Amino acid sequence: MVNDMLRSLIVSLLFGTTLAASAADAVADPAVAQRVREEVQQLFTRLATTGALGAHPEQLNLNIDEPARRTADLGLLVDATNAAHARDGLRVLGTSPGGAAAQFGVRAGDVLVGVNGHSLRDLGADENGHALAASTLKASVESLPDGAPIKLDVERSGAPLALAGTMQSVTLPALRLGLGGPAIASADLPASSTAGAGCGRISMIDLAPRQQALYGALILTIDGVTPGPSTAQKFRVSAGTHRLEVAERIPTSEMGVGEIASLRNNKLKNLTVDVAPNTTVMIAAHLNRDRATKLTEGTYWDPVAWKTVSENCP
């Protein structure tokens, strides 16, 4: 029962945020993958802080699978707490910057009284006491195909106002999320290793010398596991051999090929590193200046372990 309730809450929060990918390891764009990890990390931090994960979150065992879905969101925050508040329409509490409603001209303080000719006044409450006007607005918008006109009847400072725009939906990809499994490795726990005893660290802190054409790199996986938390720049691992998936963070301005550098195909690359006990291996992206124009082939860079430093690892 708790898992069912938690599952509903997580799905609602995931699809209600800006999260736009199903799993970080399934996203081709490293920047999007990193954004996904950060969004999920923030989501579970909020859930843990509010107690939604219970007293023993480490014991949770929950898998969530959601199909791809189309969603239409005007980017509106309205007061739908009860029918009384929405008797004369839905009061707008705020709009998402750049969202559809903001583009139509809706402002905080407006009262929505109709959508495409359907009144939002005096619609009563649903079984939970929330204003039916909100669900009516949502259903009206979601039923529209892309490109369909939307007309919002608004009262602003007591005066009627008609605002209009066109429907633009987005498609959210399928979601697969597991709790209680080994999907995310702790920054303070050893990753798997082929040999060796003791521990060391792998770092992506960007200290690489630019005069050697070395730039920042992003470690996406260590031995097939996504390291975490997303804010960490250095990861503790067992001594031995580790296989990394790495993306580059080379500034476009450093590539010397003008604006076409933004068209580069930033393919993930594999790097095998040997970590000795009580050492930290520094990872960077090496810019191959003689192949800087080979953007689509991805040969313009290579991941490298550019430095090893002594660092006690208890």
Give the domain-ending residue among 178, 207, 230: 178
Q: Rounded to an integer, what distance in angstroms lies between the CA atom of residue 281 and that of residue 156?
A: 61
| Residue owning tokens 């200046």 | 289
| Interval 184-194 mean pLDDT | 40
Clarify whether residues 145 and 202 are in a common domain.
no
Clarify whether residues 29 and 82 are in a common domain.
no
Clarify whether residues 150 and 130 are in a common domain.
yes
Token pair recorded at residue 181: 């499994």
| Radius of gyration of the chain from its Cα atoms, rounded to whole angstroms | 25
Clarify whether residues 117 and 195 are in a common domain.
no
| Interval 181-202 mean pLDDT | 54
Q: Please say if the pLDDT value at position 98 is more than 90.
A: no
Q: Which pLDDT does position 223 carry in this prediction?
A: 93
How much of the chain exceeds pLDDT 70, in percent? 68
Element (H, E) at 36: helix 30-50
Q: What is the chain's length?
A: 314
Clarify whether residues 133 and 206 are in a common domain.
no
Clarify whether residues 164 and 102 are in a common domain.
yes
Token pair recorded at residue 168: 């633009």
139 within 8 A of 117, measured Cβ to Cβ: no
Q: Which pLDDT does position 156 carry in this prediction?
A: 94
Give the residue numbers spanning the domain of 306: 182-310
Per-residue pLDDT band at 151 (split at 50, 70, 90)? very high
Clarify whether residues 117 and 146 are in a common domain.
yes
Give the domain-ending residue among 143, 178, 213: 178
Clarify whether residues 128 and 96 are in a common domain.
yes
Give the domain-ending residue among 156, 178, 200: 178
Of the listed ranges 1-10, 50-59, 171-180, 263-272, the least confidently predicted one is: 1-10
Clarify whether residues 61 and 80 are in a common domain.
no
Whole-number average pLDDT of the chain: 77
96 within 8 A of 75, measured Cβ to Cβ: yes
Of the listed ranges 15-24, 166-175, 297-306, the least confidently predicted one is: 15-24
Clarify whether residues 80 and 190 are in a common domain.
no
Cβ neighbours of 182 (radius 10 Å): 10
Clarify whether residues 187 and 272 are in a common domain.
yes
How many domains is the chain partitioned into structurally? 3
Q: Please say if the pLDDT value at position 4 is more than 60.
A: no
Token pair recorded at residue 67: 């199909």
> Rounded to 5 degrees, what angle do the CA atoms 259, 261, 263 make?
100
Q: Which pLDDT does position 245 carry in this prediction?
A: 92
Of the listed ranges 94-98, 207-211, 241-245, 275-279, the least confidently predicted one is: 94-98
CA proximity to 99, closest of 119, 85, 118, 78: 78
Q: Which pLDDT does position 257 carry in this prediction?
A: 56
Global pTM value = 0.42
Clarify whether residues 281 and 234 are in a common domain.
yes
| Interval 249-255 mean pLDDT | 78
Count helices and strands in the chain by DSSP H and E runs: 4, 19
Under DSSP, the state recorded for 312 is -
CATH number of the domain enclosing 117: 2.30.42.10
